[in-house]
Structure 1
């Protein structure tokens, strides 16, 4: 096995320790296998190895102990053990590695967290999301394992769910599909698209407990948020969101997001203003705050959304005149106590008054009086309310002169 950027000594050490313990399978899994094949066979640029994930048919902790015995503690550093299945993370010769025991899983109900137990490499690969991510390179046998025709889909540029109930088991795979399709430029296979249509047609599923019908499990909402965050932070998000809209999949988050013609423009404004993209996306929902709460986005972003709604109401009711001076706009906005980010978020909606909002966000709010309270006292002013009034007067004058 040859991995650009990974010394052969690292792979030889892993192979030697696995064979010493009689481990039948030690396999590299995940996106590295996919990206290596895209690089070798399809001419894609090699983007490097951010991490190396290995699946062990056996005891991962015992394999680490054998590595320490054979290589010595100077080559093995930053050891961390976590997880019910003895997953271990460490560095070997400075290369980050993760070892996990092979496992299998089943879903007790639609979209619920899976029940996981120890299994084989074959069962572990069957847990994956897409055929192109369900391949492995076995270091012990020195072979590529492709049980689900992932190489064929790589060659044809197809993104295909691993099995017929992939989306039924975990709807967050739909967002993952948009992430990979946008990043790799792949097309979603027809049967995979049919899975998405079937899921959305039944959404939201009723989760029953006795005679009561409950909302979606919190764990599912959290997983949806995490996948959406990855899409917005790491991927070509405009293309990925367009794909979700094309697949009619945005109702998984909120039905009104499917009919949101200003989505991309709003997010481009948010990026330009240095705002997180998530709240800007949720502004297109029927009730942005409710969706934000359900997805459990950070509390401060929920507050921005709530205040953005209040700003929109204020702009429709009693705002200053559009041509009012910078000081009048600044006083009106600041008297409300809104967070600056909420005002910037309101700019992304492009209301009629977006220009004074933008100027306050970008310039007017940062302008200060030319003197400080200390300067005024040194000049003979007596401490008291008059100093505050003078500082406000100076600041207003400086704002108005900045036009």
Structure 2
């Protein structure tokens, strides 16, 4: 077959262009470090790389969610730590109020201290995260979640928690009502109350003597004084006030425990005729602010008898200990959330690293192999270039000249 000079030129140019393209692709792979530049280079590897990229991006998004939760919980844990410190300081002031040598003015001074702690606690309850979100707003609020009203502090947020999804649900807010407004009243099982106290008697917080005998009832303890003899009468009632059975009576001895239906409580001092105390089942309704407001109001009462002060201190310590326990419980839960967030973050980091490794294995270039291929293609290109130079000289004009 006869091969024309033009055809030889065209074949040489085509081979030269192909070699040049191969050399350029090899050089691009070396500079980018990628073996698969287009899906057409290796469809299977390109699909693997795409799936790995999507997995890594999902893990990165989840990591940001975990970080948001962790930051919020760290701020919340710090706020609860400040609250616990303030309540403990308030407790010390209530203990000091029990000093029998204190005057009304000194007790008012302690009440002023409690007011400062109460204001500090309200500020902590309304603390923000720096981005306009309240730490204790629950599922959200239009403004500060805790509002100081004439009837006491009210929670204006929404019950529950706002959360992020990061493989598992992690909160970014805490239910403020649960933390600040729902401590157990009384000793956690029942609450002792003063109904009428015209004498010098006071009742302690009580204790459970037999858990199996506890009943969901109200108990009215009324004292009768006839001459030098004092007796008590305990009337069982349903929670709506309906009388439940005959009353239980007995002689009163100051400081001696009175027991009924698994409950034990002690009345001290000298009750007046008709004085009445009461026990009711405990409820999750005690707030941090009500506990302090009650103690503040009672410590500011002038001409308080020692029995009144003893009653204030007993109930004040009971309530403060209850709200303190509640805050510490919520703080522990926040600490557990931080530990869980750390675990989730570690798992997501491992997932992201695995996805990036898979993507690298699918599309990254083996540099040793890449350099070898580049050198081979460069050698081939040089050979084609020299061949083309030789073909150019195979012309009749070269000889006629």
The normalised TM-score by structure 2 is: 0.17
Larger radius of gyration: 2
The normalised TM-score by structure 1 is: 0.17
Bigger relative CO (Cα 8 Å, ≥ 6 apart): 2
